[in-house]
A and B are shown apart, each in its own frame.
Chain A
Amino acid sequence: MTDLASYNFAYLDEQTKRMIRRAILKAIAIPGYQVPFASREMPMPYGWGTGGVQVTASIVGPDDVLKVIDQGADDTTNAVSIRAFFQKVASVAVTTHTKDATIIQTRHRIPEEKLAANQVLVYQVPIPEPLRFLEPRETETRKMHALEEYGLMHVKLYEDIAHNGRISKTYAYPVKVAGRYVMDPSPTPKFDNPKMHMSDALQLFGAGREKRIYAVPPYTEVVSLDFDDYPFEIQRFGKPCALCGAEEVYLDEVILDDKGGRMFVCSDTDHCEDRRAHGHAGEMLAPNQEAAE
């Protein structure tokens, strides 16, 4: 019972890590293809990032610097919990600065800062199968991928346009990787889709409960599905960030009072703090600073 307290570096045993690394290598070799792997029970619940945690645990080394974000923020409770887990089981250095990290584990966002060639972005994926909502059976969807039979997805997008006048998928917007596999980018807002295209960084996707790993190698084409007359568009916000004044970034809506008051602030907290540190100020911050002076 006393050895309960001691775990291997980064929690997983070396055999398991090797099994996962093999799956990762296969995933890199076949961009966008979902590689089945023998996902382990982790000490956090399925659906809370076990896939991402297993991928990170398999690639993290003692020299790595880890950043964990959830909804773009470093201080969201689940990001805090996962970061604390790796500090505990791998004594790994952690950071909140996108630039300083070698591995970034994320849920639902890609950092605003452009990623570099020495960085790996690890996505937590709940449902890896982009066709799942069109066809619930794994036996069927695997066949559809094998035959490159993606007509159903295009029909779905077309129906969206017919019913709503636009493609109404706002997150987990399907992409085609390297001209072959249709892939779920995980539930990131479609705003982040263009960042996946020809990225300098390696992108790894882990789905623990569904037991799948997939990857987008660096400098790989990632194209969001669309039609010639209905081209893919990202979300645009009418206003800049209320704190740092950033434009062309993804914003969270913060409710300020019960009278409909609200503000829009950067979802990427590190990006926002960094800009503020460099003297940028949005409309909510500026008057406060003046008042302080």
Chain B
Amino acid sequence: MYVAVKGGEAAIANAHRLLADRRRGNRSLPAIGIDQIVAQLALAVDRVMAEASLYDRTLAALAVRQSRGDMIEAIFLLRAYRTTLPRFGYSKPVDTARMKIERRVSATYKDLPGGQLLGPTFDYTHRLLDPSLLTDEAVEEPTLREAETGRVMRVSEILAQEGLIEGDGEMPEDHEIGDLTREPMEFPMTRDLRLQALARGDEGFLLALGYSTQRGYGRNHPFTGEIRIGEVDVEFDVPELGFAVSLGTIQVTECQMVNQFKGSSKAPPQFTRGYGLVFGQSERKAMSMSLVDRALRAEELGEDITAPAQDEEFVISHADNVQSTGFVEHLKLPHYVDFQAELDLVRRMRNEFEANRIGGDDTIKEAAE
């Protein structure tokens, strides 16, 4: 009568075999290539690199393919690989002023040194489905200009010349930059760790929180000082050599938000900063990150903490989508032992309830007395 639920092992193997089949899909169509994903689904690859915090387009594309396009699953795959990599050391801070810029826009100045460069953007496209993309029609070659080689001044520096903006955030002399992948998080956090958590935080979550600040939940009057996207050098100090060597370049998106600030007991009236830096091309994420970064500085700047986006423990504890998805999805694991305990309790309470209703007995009241 009773069939023991054996065979978990065979069931798992068969499920994974079916998954592999569905991933491949119709065998009469060519399989999608990793280089195709890197080239043609570049922004998906960028998001996976950013939230997995591992800069490797090939592996990110592999993860996208392996996850059948499920972004959070792809991020998880790449994270789980990242965690096994040995740590040689830490690079020097990247100098985004020396970025080889492909796109750079400022919303605070009409024109400025270095100019406004639209670059490859969806902005100002009309969101009309393009039937030409149904087939493989020839695409025009882009017009390109010579890359600027020099340093391109940041908008914050223009404001700083007048003393109208707070200084760039600085840590105390003896502060060692933390690494949230190596040390357990503790609250309250320092801004370096907070920015690390935001940089790998879920794009959708940060977008919603950033949006909430605009709608009045922790409003901080932002202006997009500038957004820049391009290639920066990554340099590494080799102790044996005594000087830094370049390891190569990475593409990053940087956003500097300039926020109005009326001053408080802790700081004079001036513009304040919110900062976002993300691997690859991801303006939405970089902008959201800088809004949330600024909101999370509420305590430092002596502002009232009234909104979710200003609540460090709330934001940072829930920003990581690999953690969130794991815990939400673990609800599908068996819980029958605990459910049995609850069943038993509800049955007993129900019996008492029915007995009381019939007998008019008030044992529960007595118990409380």
Residues of B132-159 whose CB lies within 8 A of A? none
Query: Contact string, A234-253, partner B, CB cutoff 8 A, digits 1/0?
Result: 01000000110000001111
- CB-CB under 8 A for A41 and B333, given A75-B6, A209-B327, A211-B185: no
> In the complex, what distance in Å separates the CA atom of A48 from the CA atom of B331?
9
In the complex, which residues of chain A have a beta carbon less than 8 angstroms from the beta carbon of B313? 137-139
Q: Which of B327, B334, B338, B343 contacts A253 (CB 8 A)?
A: B343
* A46 with B184: CB separation less than 8 A: no
B262 at the interface (CB under 8 A from A): no
Contact A48 B2 (CB under 8 A): no
Q: Which residue of A lies closest to B364 (CB)?
A: A165
Name the B residues within 8 Å of A4 (CB-CB): 81
Residues of A close to B352: CB separation below 8 A = 165
Interface status of A265 (Cβ within 8 A of chain B): yes
CB pair B340–A7 under 8 Å, yes or no, is no
Q: Judge if A91 is at the interface, Cβ distance under 8 Å.
A: no
* Residue total for A at the interface (Cβ-Cβ under 8 A): 68
Give the number of residues in B that approach A within 8 Å (Cβ atoms): 54
In the bound complex, residues from chain A placing their C-beta under 8 Å from that of B367 are 161-162, 165-166
Which one of A58-66, A78-86, A149-157 is at the interface? A78-86
Query: Shortest beta-carbon distance, A126 to chain B, in Å?
Result: 7
| Chain B positions within 8 Å of A165 at CB level | 349, 352, 363-364, 367-368
B337 touches A267 (CB 8 A): yes
Which of A38, A81, A242, A251 contacts B184, CB < 8 Å?
A38
Contacting residue for A40 out of B83, B336, B364, B368, CB 8 A: B83
- Measured in the bound complex, the distance between the Cα atoms of B183 and A164 in whole Å is 43
Known: A47-B329, A80-B9, A209-B327. A41 touches B343 (CB 8 A): no
Contact with B along A214-240 (1 / 0, CB 8 A): 000000000000000000000100000
Measured between beta carbons, the chain A residues less than 8 angstroms from B335 are 71, 108, 187
Is the CB–CB distance between A76 and B8 below 8 Å? yes
Please give, as numbers and ranges, the residues of chain A lying within 8 Å of B76 by CB-CB distance: 41, 45
User: Is A252 a contact partner of B336 (Cβ separation < 8 A)?
Assistant: yes
Report how far A242 CA is from B2 CA in the complex, Å: 10
Q: Does A109 contact B (CB under 8 A)?
A: yes
Q: Is the CB of B345 within 8 A of A75?
A: no
Q: How far is the CB of B331 from chain A (nearest CB, A)?
A: 8
Chain A contacts with B in 36-64, Cβ cutoff 8 A: 36-43, 45-48, 50
Question: Any chain B CB within 8 A of the CB of A189?
Answer: yes
Tell me if B12 is interfacial: C-beta within 8 Å of chain A: yes
CA distance A254 to B334 in the complex (A): 13
Q: How far in angstroms is the closest Cβ of chain A from B365?
A: 9
Cα separation A159 to B317 with both chains bound (whole Å): 29
Q: Are B327 and A190 in contact (CB under 8 A)?
A: no
Q: A36-B184, A109-B337, A253-B340 are in contact. Are A46 and B9 (CB under 8 A)?
A: no
Residues of A within 8 A of B (CB): 4, 7, 11, 13, 36-43, 45-48, 50, 70-73, 75-81, 84, 107-109, 126, 137-139, 161-166, 168, 170-172, 187-191, 209, 211, 235, 242-243, 250-254, 256, 263, 265, 267, 269, 284, 288
> Can you give 19 A-B contacts (C-beta < 8 A)?
A38-B182, A41-B80, A45-B329, A47-B327, A48-B330, A75-B7, A78-B333, A80-B9, A81-B12, A138-B313, A162-B368, A163-B368, A170-B342, A171-B342, A189-B341, A235-B341, A250-B337, A263-B2, A284-B1
Task: List 7 A-B pairs, minimum CB-CB distance, nearest first.
Answer: A46-B326, A47-B330, A45-B326, A170-B341, A36-B184, A47-B327, A162-B368
Residue numbers of B with Cβ under 8 A of A are 1-2, 4-9, 11-12, 76, 79-84, 86, 181-188, 313, 317, 322-323, 325-330, 333-338, 340-345, 349, 352, 363-364, 367-368
